[in-house]
Amino acid sequence: MKINLRSILTGVLLVLFLSGIVFFIKRNRPVPAPLPPSVTGATTLKIKGPATAPVKLIEYSDFECPSCRNAQTDIQGLFKNYPGKIQLTFKHYPLTSHKWSLYAHQAAECMNRQGKFWPYQEKVYEKQAEWAPSNIPPVEILARYARELGANMDQFGKCMADVTVTHEIYAEKEEGNARQVNATPTFFLGEARFVGPKEMQERGENAIRKVLGLPPKPVPPKKQEPAAPAFPTGIPKQKVT
Amino acid sequence: MPGKSYKVLFLGRMFLGLVFAYSGFSKLMEPVENFQAAMAAYEVIPYAIVPFLAHVIPWIEFFFGAFLILGYLPRVSALVLAAMSLSFVVLILTTRIVTGVLPANCGCFGEGGLIHLKPLQVFIMDICNTFIGIRLAFLKSHPFSLAAFFREKSPSGT
């Protein structure tokens, strides 16, 4: 009995001690103050949607990430379903595990300087299967996409070799790191965070609807129930004559 | 028990404990949404239970990993961690069979952790961990453990 008591007491103390360590470290982690937009990355912000939109989403995304590509359909759906209500800000977050991602982000940022960011990002996602598996840096392919969208290729070429653009991309990634982003796509709606397309579908859209003062998204019926009552239980059916 | 295998099992205990304690700790240091997304990537897990699991699993990993390192309830801890390793093996296998694809990153050590393993690598590691855990769970005494310390301190020596 004595051993059991000592053992139980040790267990309780261990749990308290270990939990204390976790909470203490988490609480005392340095949280960098948010930087003003002018120094947090690209000189021109990549914003889609009206400034007056009540829903302001921020997306940290990687062009080589398949989940980010999949999330684009959902984002387009949001713009379609809530016209004029959504504003999206794109932030670069090239993952180190994706070898050609930085090239794509550099190209997109170069297109941003020519005011063609959004069509270019659509193209890069759409053609991900073409450039991402490349064995050599896909500079030629990315330049082709830019040409197809009518970019000034002289400017584009110079910009692709410009290290300051790369630094700006990393500055945006660093800003994401400061917000504990480390998976893509990560969306922010105020302080609420939605990681991955699934989260965005399951919780994100309802959070948007809440901001817009709409009821939660109705859950689509999984299957047609043949014997579904036409009236709630307890209310007698009336004969239709 | 021969001294050599005893040492090997002690190292196995440290390895298993460290893997899980680090795995849990790195997840606890991140926003829970990151682990939630890593779990949602395994499409066979019903999404309704993903938020609950994402909150609970890191704590279980951290506590039992630390318990195993310290040798507190070593047999129970080893069994719990073996069961978790086995469930990860089943999860990876089921996901591969049902969906035909596996997530690029296993999500085992938190997305921002130092270790990034591919599902196949973690599959092999989890098989090893399952065996280590089961072996440790059947070991009656664990050297350099709190359990051994309590046994020595007890008047009857049991």
What are the structural domain ranges in chain A? 37-211
Please tell me the predicted confidence (pLDDT) of residue A237.
Answer: 42
Q: Which residue of A has its CA nearest to B27?
A: A22
- Residue A34 near residue A65, CB atoms below 8 Å: no
Q: What's the whole-number mean pLDDT along residues A184-210?
A: 89
Q: For chains A and B, what is the number of CB pairs under 8 angstroms?
A: 70
Please tell me the predicted confidence (pLDDT) of residue A107.
Answer: 95
- Nearest CB among B25, B62, B111 relative to A182 is that of B111
Q: What's the whole-number mean pLDDT along residues A25-46?
A: 63
Could you read off the pLDDT tens digit of each residue along chain B, which spans 158 residues? 556 677 788 899 999 999 999 999 988 988 888 888 888 888 888 888 888 999 999 999 999 999 999 999 899 999 999 999 999 999 989 988 888 777 766 666 655 566 677 778 888 999 999 999 999 998 888 888 888 887 777 665 44
Tell me the chain B residues in contact with residue A6 when contact means C-beta distances shorter than 8 Å. Answer: 150, 153
Q: Mind telling me how many Å the CA of B110 is from chain A's nearest CA?
A: 9
Tell me the chain A residues in contact with residue B20 when contact means C-beta distances shorter than 8 Å. Answer: none
Is the pTM above the cut of 0.80?
no
Q: How far is CA A92 from each of CA A70, A102, A172, B119, B125, rounded to the nearest angstrom? A: 17, 9, 6, 26, 33
Residue A225 has pLDDT above 80, yes or no: no
pLDDT: which is higher, B31 or A93: A93
* Beta-sheet strand order (sheet of A186-189): A46-48, A86-92, A55-61, A186-189, A192-195
> What confidence category does residue A239 fall into, taking pLDDT thresholds of 50, 70 and 90?
very low
Q: Which residues contact B113 (CB under 8 A, 6 or more apart)?
A: B22, B23, B26, B27
Name the most confidently modeled range: A94-98, A160-164, B151-155: A160-164
Please tell me the predicted confidence (pLDDT) of residue A238.
Answer: 44
Please tell me the predicted confidence (pLDDT) of residue B30.
Answer: 83
How big is the CA angle at A118 (ends A117 and A122), to the nearest 5 degrees? 115
Q: Which residues contact B11 (CB under 8 A, 6 or more apart)?
A: none
Residue A156 has pLDDT above 50, yes or no: yes
Please tell me the predicted confidence (pLDDT) of residue B56.
Answer: 95
CB contact under 8 A, B47 and A196: no
Q: How far is CA A169 from each of CA A4, A42, A49, A162, rounded to the nearest angstrom? A: 58, 7, 22, 12
Q: Spell out the CATH class of A37-211.
A: alpha beta
Which tokens go with B21? 């304690």
Q: What's the whole-number mean pLDDT along residues A194-198?
A: 87
CB contact under 8 A, B34 and A180: yes
- Nearest CB among A22, A25, A199 relative to B40 is that of A199
Name the most confidently modeled range: A192-196, A235-239, B139-143: A192-196
Rounded percentage of chain A residues whose pLDDT exceeds 90:
53
Neighbours of B66 (CB within 10 A): 22
Tens digit of each residue's pLDDT (9 = 90 or more) over A10-22: 889 999 999 999 9
Tell me the chain A residues in contact with residue B105 when contact means C-beta distances shorter than 8 Å. Answer: 97
- Nearest CB among B47, B67, B110 relative to A202 is that of B47
pLDDT: which is higher, B23 or A223: B23
CB contact under 8 A, B30 and A18: no
Which residues, listed in sequence order, are joined to residue A92 by a DSSP beta bridge? A61
Please tell me the predicted confidence (pLDDT) of residue A236.
Answer: 43
Tell me the chain B residues in contact with residue A198 when contact means C-beta distances shorter than 8 Å. Answer: 37, 40-41, 47
CB contact under 8 A, A194 and B70: no
Can you tell me the distance from the alpha carbon of A63 to that of A134, in angstroms, rounded to the nearest whole number? 14
> What confidence category does residue A39 fall into, taking pLDDT thresholds of 50, 70 and 90?
very low
pLDDT: which is higher, A118 or B4: A118
- Nearest CB among A18, A195, A199 relative to B62 is that of A18
Tens digit of each residue's pLDDT (9 = 90 or more) over A71-80: 899 999 999 9
Rounded percentage of chain A residues whose pLDDT exceeds 70:
83
Please tell me the predicted confidence (pLDDT) of residue B25.
Answer: 92
* SS3 per residue for chain A: CHHHHHHHHHHHHHHHHHHHHHHHHHHCCCCCCCCCHHHCCCCCCEEECCCCCCEEEEEEECCCCHHHHHHHHHHHHHHHHCCCCEEEEEEECCCCCCCCHHHHHHHHHHHHCCCCHHHHHHHHHHCHHHHCCCCCCCHHHHHHHHHHCCCCHHHHHHHHCCHHHHHHHHHHHHHHHHCCCCCCCEEEECCEEEEHHHHHHHHHHHHHHHHCCCCCCCCCCCCCCCCCCCCCCCCCCCCCC
Can you tell me the distance from the alpha carbon of A46 to that of A37, in angstroms, rounded to the nearest whole number? 11
Q: Mind telling me how many Å the CA of A199 is from chain B's nearest CA?
A: 7
CB contact under 8 A, B33 and A199: yes
Residue A38 has pLDDT above 50, yes or no: no
Please tell me the predicted confidence (pLDDT) of residue B154.
Answer: 67
Tell me the chain A residues in contact with residue B155 when contact means C-beta distances shorter than 8 Å. Answer: 2
CB contact under 8 A, A198 and B37: yes
- Nearest CB among A3, A14, A199 relative to B36 is that of A199
Q: Mind telling me how many Å the CA of A236 is from chain B's nearest CA?
A: 34
Q: What's the whole-number mean pLDDT along residues A52-65?
A: 92
Q: Which residues contact A157 (CB under 8 A, 6 or more apart)?
A: A143
Which tokens go with A30? 């340095």
- Nearest CB among B33, B104, B153 relative to A194 is that of B33
